[in-house]
Structure 1
Amino acid sequence: MFRSESLEDGQQLLTKLGALTARARELAQLQRSRVELAVALQRGMLPRDLPHPEGVHLAVGYMPANHGLNVGGDWYDAFTMADGCIGLSIGDVQGHNIQAAAYMGQVRVVLRALASVTGDPGELLGRTNDLLVSLDTDLFATCTFLRLDPASGTLECARAGHIPHIWATADGRSGIDEEEGGPPLGVLEGASFPVACHRLTTGGVFVLPTDGVVEGPSLDLDEGLGKVRRLAEVTAAAGLGVDTLAGGVMKLADSVGHEDDAAVLVVGHDVGSAGRRPPTG
């Protein structure tokens, strides 16, 4: 009798374990499907092609946070504006779910659409911000928008709560942007976004990362920005090109120690093109 009851109990336990295992597999497959959908959504919203203005080179790097349950909302974009200048944006949506990925697509589309109305980066971020505030969601985004004139190398830049960009020149100088920015997009109606002017020099680079590249448990923000600055300085001085620099920045992202999105946009001036070398700043 004892032996029969023990066998029955064991069989019941195995049946319950089998049912739990099947349920766990079903949930895991569902989560994988959600992550794959969100990653596909993210990648589908990123530009397939980058502009190729004479004398300017662009390079990007991107790694989605598709580890475990994380799905983020980092993006980059580059497009030709009506006046022939290049619009460049990079940003990060708060949150790690499919809603963040969808919101990222909204922000990117709004920036492109409003760029046909105004080319001023500060006004563009202001209008985008007010539109996002009107959506009345709990999400917000940080962003940097640059307007690049390929002919002169002039860069007009406005930041909305985003981390600073980094610059370096072919003669060995480098720095981290210290200009004032505005709040994240979608938080405060009527917010203003100051515009700073820089100059892209021959052989110089501008590096625009998201915080997933430079900040995490094993790397604080200042240290991460410093590492990117050194990478930019060495790459520009050696004339290694924007693709090499973007690759080096993404390798740094692997060492940050977390599972956030990571993206970078690198802008460089063709070292083979003719022209003067005005100061960066």
Structure 2
Amino acid sequence: MSRKRPTGDGDELLARLGWLTAQARERAEFQRSQVELAIELQRGMLPVDMPTAPGFDVAVQYAPACYGLNVGGDWYDAFKLPDERIGLSIGDVQGHNIEAAAFMGQVRVGLRALASVTSEPGELLARTNDLLLSIGAGLFATCTFMRLDPSTGVLESARAGHIPCVWATADGKSGIAEDEGGPPLGIQVGMEYPVTRYRLTTGGVFVLLTDGVVEGPSVSVDEGLDQVVRLAGIAAVAGMSASSLAAAVIKGAERVGHEDDAAVLVVGHDAAGRQP
């Protein structure tokens, strides 16, 4: 003879399932709103206009995470320094939430503010590192800062735990920049950041990027960097503009299936007959 579950037990089970469903829906909506807020916060803090200098072109591209609800603290920046040189920075903050997006703003503003005191890349990163530690946010960021002198084409670069940049010249040479670098910003006080000097020749390009461009489930960081090296080499030989190269690099980021934000900053030395 079959037994029937008491009606009260069934009602209680349905009520509990309904409560759990409502809680899950509420958490999902809250997480979605947090992501939307972080995205808007991030977009509001990134610069719209890039500085210009005769013979040089700066272009940027940014793409949010391809999958899930990750929102990182990737940033890019380019601005005129007091001595008419150009400061270029790109970086990535630890974490994927509103706090990471807000901390990104602090790093970017800190770099700009301190660059009015010293624009020497190594000293600038050291001072920014100490400033972030004094704030006590408990987060850290990787970063590359470059100082471009348009009168000579000299690029001075310092790197704080960030992935290296890519270069290419109009005569068909390309590669990954080799520099010593230092630790990420916000980890330990009193750090030093070595400076490496490059020269951006006519028709040449430098590509600064975040790891979301070159690393993901489908591609390792080494494979991703190799792809960007090939793209930069083709672009330099073909005389493509900085904006066209930046668009091609960010398009390639889709193939790596990145689960993080992706940012690209390209600086190029204009050549005669450059294609749009």
TM-score of the two chains, using structure 2 as the length reference? 0.92
Residue pairs, 1:49-198, within 5 angstroms: 49-65=49-65, 67-198=67-198
SS at match of 1:143: strand
Distance in 2, Cα, partners of 1:109 & 1:154: 25
- 1:17 Cα deviation after fit: 3.5
1:235-263 Cα offsets, whole Å, 9 max, x none, are 11111211221111112211223411111
1:153-206 Cα offsets, whole Å, 9 max, x none, are 111111111111010011111111111111111112111111111111111110
Partner of 1:272: 272
Partner of 2:40: 40
SS at match of 1:155: strand
What amino acid maps onto 1:245 in structure 2? L
**What is the CA RMSD across the aligned residues, in angstroms?**
2.0
- Go from structure 1 to structure 2 and tell me whether the alpha carbon gap of 1:234 and 1:66 turns closer, same or farther (over 3 Å shift): closer
Distance in 1, Cα, partners of 2:4 & 2:56: 80
Check conservation: 2:59, 2:267, Cα contact below 8 A.
yes
What amino acid maps onto 1:169 in structure 2? T
Name structure 2 gaps, 5 residues minimum.
none
TM-score of the two chains, using structure 1 as the length reference? 0.90
Check conservation: 2:213, 2:258, Cα contact below 8 A.
no
- State which drifts further: 109-118 or 174-183: 174-183
What amino acid maps onto 2:143 in structure 1? C
SS at match of 2:60: strand
Partner of 1:237: 237
Distance in 1, Cα, partners of 2:238 & 2:34: 43
Name structure 1 gaps, 5 residues minimum.
274-281
- Runs of 4+ displaced beyond 6 Å: 2-8
What amino acid maps onto 2:29 in structure 1? Q
- 1:64 Cα deviation after fit: 2.4
SS at match of 1:255: helix
